[in-house]
């Protein structure tokens, strides 16, 4: 068990969000899409230039930029 940033996760890797360290508009956007502490996420893939990243959460697929993923800490196996 270790906690890493979402950006550092590999394709196909699964983890549990531990913290979302951002407020304001970005924080709210991230949370309203279901990226909250306790949510399980899986890296679905990365865009051709490695950024943005696509993730699965709560039965849906989301995409966000790596710079936005940097605020999300994930606990992985």
- Binding residues for other proteins (CB under 8 A): 19-21, 23, 25-39, 42, 44-52, 54, 57-65, 68
Q: Which is nearer to other proteins, 1 or 24 (CB)?
A: 24
Q: Which residue has 């890493």 as its token pair?
A: 4
Could you count the other beta carbons within 10 Å of the beta carbon of residue 34?
Answer: 14
Cα 63 to chain centroid distance, Å, stands at 9
Provide the minimum distance between the beta carbon of 8 and other proteins in the complex, in angstroms, as a whole number.
18
Structural tokens at position 22: 């951002």
Provide the minimum distance between the beta carbon of 16 and other proteins in the complex, in angstroms, as a whole number.
14
Task: Identify which of 70, 65, 50, 76 has the alpha carbon closest to the alpha carbon of residue 5.
Answer: 70
Q: Which is nearer to other proteins, 8 or 58 (CB)?
A: 58
Q: Which is nearer to other proteins, 3 or 65 (CB)?
A: 65
């Amino acid at each position: 068990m270790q906690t890493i940033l979402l950006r550092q996760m590999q394709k196909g890797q699964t983890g549990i969000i531990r913290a979302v360290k951002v407020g304001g508009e970005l924080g709210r956007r991230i949370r309203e899409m279901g990226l909250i502490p306790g949510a399980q996420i899986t890296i679905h893939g990365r865009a051709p230039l490695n950024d943005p990243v696509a993730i699965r959460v709560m039965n849906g697929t989301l995409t966000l930029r790596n710079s936005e993923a940097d605020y999300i800490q994930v606990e992985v196996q």
